Amino acid sequence: MLLETKHLTKRFGNKIAVNALDLRITRGSFTALLGPNGAGKSTTMNMLIGLSRPTAGTIIYDHHAKLGVVFQGSVLDNCLTVRENLQIRADQYHHVPADRVATLSQQLGLTNFMQQRYGTLSGGQKRRVDIARALLNDPDVLFLDEPTTGLDIQTRHAIWTLIQRLQRDRQLTVILTTHYLDEADNADHVVVIDHGCVLAQGTAAEIKIRYAADILTVTTPDVAQLIAQVALQPTHQTRSQVTFRLATMQAALDILTMNRPLISNFEFRPGTLDDAFLALTGKEMR
Ligand SMILES: Nc1ncnc2c1ncn2[C@@H]1O[C@H](COP(=O)(O)OP(=O)(O)OP(=O)(O)O)[C@@H](O)[C@H]1O
């Protein structure tokens, strides 16, 4: 276990931002803290990285765990070049090898704009430099607070591919916060939080199975007979269509094969993390 929290709690006056959070993060894992605005994600992360003191509860790190943090807003100097920014930061650490900036700029694809001023980079380029900065001290765990917010879909994808490659190649433990449900799908551990509490956790697949049913909609000439044969309460029906919520795709296959003569068309939609999120929080992202 790299990191464990027990009843981690943060109050601001009367408001409970994080409410007795129990987290267990294993070494080398990729955890996404997923939740709507105001859920308590940033407050949790700030406590985990030591920026904010918990009101109650404990945070236990493995011995000598080194942290790297990519903040929502950059901490780099707009007027300095990428190389200057990274070198100045590298020089602030002890034991950083002399070729560290060059190696990271290769790995993160920064070489074409190392001489460019940070403030003139695109959003996606800035993010990559921010990630390189956070990796200078060769951390065991990399925290990223909404690393892809405000980036276009191609850049978001590129940043995620990069983070996943870093996790794999360097055995990094990655903990990030996101609003994007499709992104959390890539993590191997998803923690859904709202009002400072964990609503669900597990792999994206486990959360979907538990909280997001598959949807089967069948078009049939005889709605009443189909419902009688399936012996399941439909969630919706019209004169020619019936919709069922099902736990597994196998259940859908069974309905389709056993009632083949009654079925003129069908649509199957597997449960998504969006469905699970809405089922858990009962509302759209805020
Ligand atoms: N310094 C503070 N003083 C008072 N309340 C605060 C403070 N910081 C956070 N909060 C409150 O704590 C709650 C959790 O905020 P937090 O920023 O952790 O949410 P979040 O999940 O990161 O949201 P977002 O996705 O919008 O960044 C919110 O209700 C917020 O208003």
Walk me through the domains of the chain, giving residue ranges and CATH numbers: 3-207 (3.40.50.300), 213-270 (3.30.70.1150)
* Residue 226 predicted with pLDDT over 90: yes
In eight-state DSSP terms, residue 245 is E
pLDDT at residue number 286: 52
Tokens of 200: 């669900």
Q: What percent of the chain has pLDDT over 70?
A: 99
For residue 76 and ligand 1, the question of a CB distance below 6 A is answered with: no
* Residue 284 predicted with pLDDT over 60: no
pLDDT at residue number 74: 86
* Residue 5 predicted with pLDDT over 60: yes
Which of 9, 19, 42 has the most ligand 1 atoms within 8 A of CB, as the residue to mutate?
Answer: 42
Contacts of 224 (CB under 8 A, 6+ apart): none
pLDDT at residue number 4: 95
Per residue, the 3-state secondary structure of 93-134, as one string, reads CCCCCCCHHHHHHHHCCCHHHCCCEHHHCCHHHHHHHHHHHH
The span from the CA of 201 to the CA of 180, in Å, is 16
ipTM of this complex:
0.97
Closest CA to 179 of 37, 73, 276: 37
pLDDT at residue number 37: 87
Q: Where are the beta strands (DSSP E) in 15-111?
A: 15-25, 30-34, 56-61, 67-70
pLDDT at residue number 186: 78
For residue 10 and ligand 1, the question of a CB distance below 6 A is answered with: no
Quote the ligand 1 centre to 168 CA distance (angstroms). Answer: 31
Task: Say what the pTM is.
Answer: 0.82
Q: Between 184 and 133, where is the model more confident?
A: 133
Which of 8, 9, 12 has the most ligand 1 atoms within 8 A of CB, as the residue to mutate?
Answer: 12
Quote the ligand 1 centre to 89 CA distance (angstroms). Answer: 29
For residue 83 and ligand 1, the question of a CB distance below 6 A is answered with: no
